[in-house]
A and B are shown apart, each in its own frame.
Chain A
């Protein structure tokens, strides 16, 4: 299988890539050369043929050139995984608006642009899977993280439309919506234990299953679907008074 991973040094991407290394060709894209080379070495030992490219997706990029390079190396793409992102502090973003465009570049633009390009090329082949890691935070706007939530809501809606568009070409789009994940992204949050917190390995295993079952949307772990279902039922007149 030929795989491209955007944000290959993220915790979920690493866990997923470790499961999907053996016998596959993998193209890794991330910002840090040092970290990327460590991930590449790991996947190589696990039996993958590895290509890698450093790219700072928090800055605007020409994704046409990036996607060209991916196809040049791999020939074709069977799975494209998008795992890059950052979770800046909500109050910080309110105070320093300059941080917002960078977050939007990383969390949203670097998903939409290359996913659209790769989707088109997969359509030509009549096969392929795009996996976009969004978040439960994109389902509803919460006073505690609505800038981040907005960036993810954009990804979710985009993926929804892309899924619709690519279905007739035999290309599948999976939207992954994790809840709380114990990873470097959330390392600044206190007490990352308890039943609501999942490990990256768990998310990765759920993604594997969802890909093989051709699921459209994956809440991981499963109970987030229920939690969000309940929250969505709360009338706005009440919700706006809460401190979620």
Chain B
């Protein structure tokens, strides 16, 4: 048995290690399976205690790349970072990217990841043309919107529960340079922030805000708002900056209310002027944390919990209540990100994005206090027709899951492969 952890280092599982070196090697016995990519899910959607973990790392071959049309086909273990290494110099970027490029193609599909451009461009699944799926029956199927569309819909955002995704074909986005034009500004409160999102909607493809979750009262929503478009100026080179690496997890986390407040204060004032325009390399704008390998270790041995929800109804009220509850709790949240989501035209049945605003936050694991706080956040989310993102979740209740995804669950269950499960699935459905 091998010990597996999730990115939050809060939940762990012991599973049998099943390595997959070639697509044709796949075979199934009487076990419960789950495929694993780079393990960037925060909670237990990438864990299966006492089951068999199929490690996809060796299935990392490109299959075909048409440099003229931007259509790329690769094995599911290929990472988004690998794709960018060969696509950017050829003038192509990922149509949708999450906050890290260290996720696999399979993982990006299984979680139907989204980025800072969801309103305009949808989620990852919107750009998947087809994929290959291995089922425990021994079938290896090619799925798309035309071929077995229902199973395709269950697999996109399906958390790996329909089988093993073997390969994926996606349509990349054309770019003229590896840089983005970024316009950043300070926002002093929530109203100003939401107005900034509104104003930039028509002119900027990527919009995101970093929030200071310790702000109180009238300053709730204090943030730095960034809006960006792909730039025309700049080369198509991949810039390698020297990465830092957190070598071990400290016995006591250096993150506490004091250090985080200080960091937030400094970060907010980093923008010396109220507004700033800059040309940023894509690594800087899309993947700032990727330069610190193993940044998750900085939370210490107890790990951390990430909470990401979407607020759909009465967004200003809902966001205000969330931020106030967090600020009142005094539980330092280091990285808090806000993005706007649109109506999803993704095929995914269990896809997280829906029209509204999504807030993502980290909390150091303080045991009961943290869990109680997150339950309160769940309640607020529910009041505002929202839901919680499975890829980040380590503790939502069965009721909360059903409230968010219940309408599609019956349909999803028809396509779930009974030989596949995860600790997340067992937690929210039994």
Contacts and interface: CB of A to CB of B under 8 A. Distances in A.
Interface in B53-83: 57-58, 60-65, 74
B21 A11 contact: yes
Nearest to A38: B61
Interface residues of B, number: 18
Interface stretch (A42-50, A85-93, A221-229): A42-50
A183 B57 CA distance: 11
27 contacts: A11-B21, A11-B58, A14-B61, A38-B63, A39-B61, A41-B62, A41-B63, A42-B61, A42-B63, A45-B62, A45-B63, A45-B64, A45-B86, A46-B62, A47-B86, A183-B21, A184-B19, A187-B19, A191-B1, A191-B2, A191-B17, A192-B17, A193-B2, A193-B3, A193-B17, A199-B57, A200-B58
A10 B60 CA distance: 14
Given A46-B86, A191-B2, A193-B17, A34 B64 contact: no
B241 interface: no
A35 interface: yes
A42 B86 CA distance: 11
Interface of A: 11, 14, 18, 34-35, 38-39, 41-42, 45-47, 182-184, 187, 191-193, 199-200
Nearest to A187: B19
Contacts, number: 42
Nearest to A185: B21
Given A45-B86, A191-B2, A193-B2, A182 B19 contact: yes
Contacts of A38: 22, 61, 63
A184 B62 CA distance: 20
A182 B2 CA distance: 13
Interface in B1-57: 1-3, 17, 19, 21-22, 24, 57
Contacts of A11: 21, 58
A34 B24 contact: yes
A45 B63 CA distance: 7
Nearest to A190: B17
Nearest to B65: A45
Given A41-B62, A45-B63, 13 more contacts: A14-B61, A18-B60, A39-B61, A41-B63, A42-B61, A45-B62, A45-B64, A45-B74, A45-B86, A183-B21, A184-B21, A191-B1, A199-B57
A42 B85 CA distance: 13
A221 to B, nearest CB: 16
Contacts of A35: 22
Contact of A42 (B2, B3, B17, B62): B62
Nearest to A34: B24
B64 A41 contact: yes
A184 B19 CA distance: 8
B71 to A, nearest CB: 12
A234 to B, nearest CB: 31
A86 to B, nearest CB: 14
B90 to A, nearest CB: 9
Contacts of A47: 86
Nearest to A9: B22
Contacts of A34: 24
Contacts of A39: 61
